[in-house]
Structure 1
Amino acid sequence: MKQLIDFDTAQQHFAGAFAPLDAVVSVPVEDAAGHVLATPLSAVLDQPPADQSAMDGYAVRHADLAHGEPLHVAQRCYAGDLPAPLAARTAARIFTGSMIPPGADTVVMQEHAREQDGWVAFDAPQRSGSHIRRRGEEVRAGDLLIPAGVRLGAMHVGVAAAQGFARIDVRPALRVGILTTGDELVACGQPRAPQQIYNSNAPMLAALVAGTGASVAMRLHAADTASAVDRALRDLHACCDLVICVGGASVGDKDLLRPALAALGASFVVAGVRMKPGKPVALARLDARPVVLLPGNPGAAMTAFALFVAPLIRCLQGREARVPIVPSLPIDIDFEPDAQRERFVRVRCAVGPGGVPVLDTLRQQGAGTLQSLVLASGLARLPAGQRIARGDAVPYYEFAHWLA
């Protein structure tokens, strides 16, 4: 078996050892949120497409204001109307989003106008060009709107729709298979014997996968026998782009995943990491596709998913941003060093004295503990062999970014 490797090297393998999938599908723009953009999206229209009013008010020729005399209101232009050219010494009543009439060069806010009997007077000096959104001031036709590799959100959909795109080319949802193992596990809702526990990993991992925009194509549970594990791996590998296995990843008598993968011809890219929790995490290559092994303890599985599996999913999706930026923030207590392994502890980012963010360490840190994850906003990284004093800044892996 390969030796344990350091955390950063392991994470680089997860984020870059496999090529992104190259399939492309076209989806309606209203269904594009959550998908990863497959090809760059460029503007086909100037935005705004014409000079528009930024206010309710009056469109005028600025030179006409020098006379200080009321102007005849010659037309009223609503958004969607095509205005007539503006004659000298006249004004157009105009509204936010209305096209600017040809000849007009300034909009006067209605708060500075007094209209009576078809004439309008203004009570404040006006700057030429005021309150006009110029054609193309936001985007010019041909400008890049969204680069490929971005996971689309509501604002991206809005940008695309404003250009009139009815459909967008995206990556199809990544097909993920989940395999749990262990005779001690029973499905939620089923009768449980005293020696059994409920299988929390399967639904938790399914939810984590969905949070990244991938899709759970198949979910299986295998008994602790070589034949059951082999059959489950074959079934999942046949229909999934990525297989995530949890439990049975170490080297105990009933840890059957590694030998089963080796028997299928898999090679290991990562076979354990010098970290706590998550030491047994592994990454294998089977017929050019990735298989991930996670520790069976739910807290450790969640930690490994955030730090390793989510970057792998983002890689396979073709996303450009695979590993989020990691800030450093002060932590609230002292830590004695672990001589051999880096530690990742659950923390909640809070506001400390003077409004400075501080990482509050949660009491429950056991690898099998889930409850404190509900309270945690992320993980603090404690380097091996280094004592951490209260107030020291440590790397902070925020779930909001690492699980997206």
Structure 2
Amino acid sequence: MISVQEAKSHILATIPVLYAEFMPLGEAVGHVLADDLLAPLALPPFRQSSMDGYAVHHADITQANTALPVVAESRAGTEVPLVLERGTAVHILTGAPVPDGATAVVMREKVRRAGDMATIELYPVIENENVRSVGQQIKKGDVALPKGTYLTPGSVGFLAGLNITTVKVYRKPSVGILVTGDELVQPDGASSGGVPSGGEGTLRFGQIYESSSAMLAAVLRAEGITDIMIRYVADDAPATVAALRELAEENDVVLSTGGVSVGDYDYVGTSLEEIGVETVFYKVRQRPGKPLFFGRNDDTFIFALPGNPAATLVCYYQYVLPALRLMSGRKDCFLPKLKLPITHAFSFKGERDEFLKATATTTTVTPLEGQESFVLRSFAMANALIYLPSTQNSVQPGDLVEAHLLPFFC
């Protein structure tokens, strides 16, 4: 059994970045750039007014209330360049080209207009006031966004303004999910093992509805991963081997839920051995989620997650999500951390670190009721996990603890 930090170090040392591919800009949000992107043009590409007003030569304004004739108008989209003669003004709108010869734009609130005359109330007018210079945002040939940039909607808008329509990004992994358990029934009434459940929406004695596959598919899609394959098997060794082999051959990452412990009907561990999976680590000194397995089979990486759904989700956020982000080219792969005062006392015994479902604000973090590994209701309300190492096994209200913020809330 290894520590939480050792497990994370093994993932960092093992997981590679996937190959890059070209993608339309509009589909690239949530991906990571695989190359530097150079600006093919300057932004703005011409001198541009930053507000509505009047373009003037600043030296023509010799005192307050200087009156100048208005000789033209420059609007956004003007295709013919204008030239400002000294001693005149041009009415100009936000985003419009600043005429050659103009050295400043006076906002319209500082100008009185009467017919063709504009009286400039402002004095002095500063050179380049309210004028965006060519390339003020970025110059042609400069690095627009560097390799490794995580593309956001703002990134897409910026690149679209540079007429960049295709980008080279790291591929997101494909993920296979294996769900095991004779007791599991799909919410539509189908049994995981293919045995009729006794009617749609009806559970037989000893059965429960399976939730882990829907939960894992949801968190994967939230991360922008859509290539997802799900297989369900009963507690049967040959079926488990066949399903794991198929998933490992078809996907970059395989996640299994349940069957990884040492019970009489836990076949995942032996099935992984049979298909040749190399163990990186097995069992982590934590609660919940101790029976976590991480291994590799050539270029496929396998996480055998605990069967209890809350333990499954804790292990996903702490280990699987960082691995998926690393494969996708991200550097910020782990959940953001904050040191926050805890609102309630908590203590535990033993040598395993604790992860507590919690709600965090900007000033405090509160552990929720229902910390058992089978309880998902508290996870449904959580926006953070409190991490308590075994060396911090007793905390009082106001003590600082480490809060890991969940992706939907940060």
Task: Tell me whether 262-271 or 315-324 shows the greater mean CA deviation.
Answer: 315-324
Structure 1 Cα separation of the partners of residues 115 and 374 of structure 2: 79
Task: Write the deviation string for residues 110-163 of structure 1: whole angstroms up to 9, x where unpaired.
Answer: 111112221111122232321111222222223333233333221110111011
Identity %: 34
- Count residues in correspondence: 394
What code does the residue aligned with 2:368 have? L
Q: Please say if 1:392 is aligned against 2:391.
A: no
Q: Shift of the alpha carbon at 1:16?
A: 3.4
Query: Aligned letter for 2:17?
Result: P
Determine the structure 2 residue equivalent to 1:71.
Answer: 68
Q: What displacement does 1:311 show?
A: 0.1
Structure 1 unmatched runs, 5+: 352-356
Partner SS for 1:159: helix
The CA deviation at 1:324 is 4.1
Map 1:44-123; keep pairs closer than 5 Å: 44-66=40-62, 68-81=65-78, 82-123=80-121
| Cα distance in structure 2, aligned partners of 1:364 and 1:217 | 30
Structure 2 match to 1:142: 141
Which piece of structure 1 moves more, 255-264 or 35-44? 35-44
Question: How does 1:187-206 map onto structure 2 within 5 Å?
Answer: 187-190=186-189, 191=200, 192-206=203-217
Match of 2:245 in 1: 234
1:320 and 1:178 map into 2 onto residues whose CA distance is: 25
CA change 1:246–1:149 in 2 (3 A) is farther
> CA 1:385–1:285 in 2, change beyond 3 Å: closer, same or farther?
same
1:162-208: CA deviation from partner (whole Å, max 9, x where unpaired): 11112111233321101110000011111331211111000100011
SS of equivalent to 1:309: helix
Q: Partner letter of residue 140 of structure 2?
A: A
Check whether the contact 1:218–1:236 (CA below 8 A) recurs between aligned residues. yes
Q: 1:313 aligns with which of 306, 321, 324?
A: 324
Residue 362 of structure 1, aligned match among 368, 371, 383 = 368
> Which residue of 284, 287, 303 maps to 1:276?
287
RMSD: 1.7
Aligned to 1:40: 36
CA–CA distance in 2 between the matches of 1:219 and 1:157? 32
* 2:344 match: 333
Q: Is the 8 A contact 1:16 1:315 kept in 2?
A: no
**Equivalent position SS for 1:235:** helix
Letter matched to residue 143 of structure 1: D
Q: TM-score, normalised by structure 2?
A: 0.92
**What are the Cα deviations for residues 8-36 of structure 1, in whole angstroms up to 9, with x where unaligned?**
110122233121111x3222222221333
Distance in 1 of aligned mates of 2:317 and 2:141: 37
Letter of the aligned partner of 1:49 in structure 2?
A: P
After superposing on structure 2, the runs of 4+ consecutive aligned residues of structure 1 that deviate more than 3 Å are none
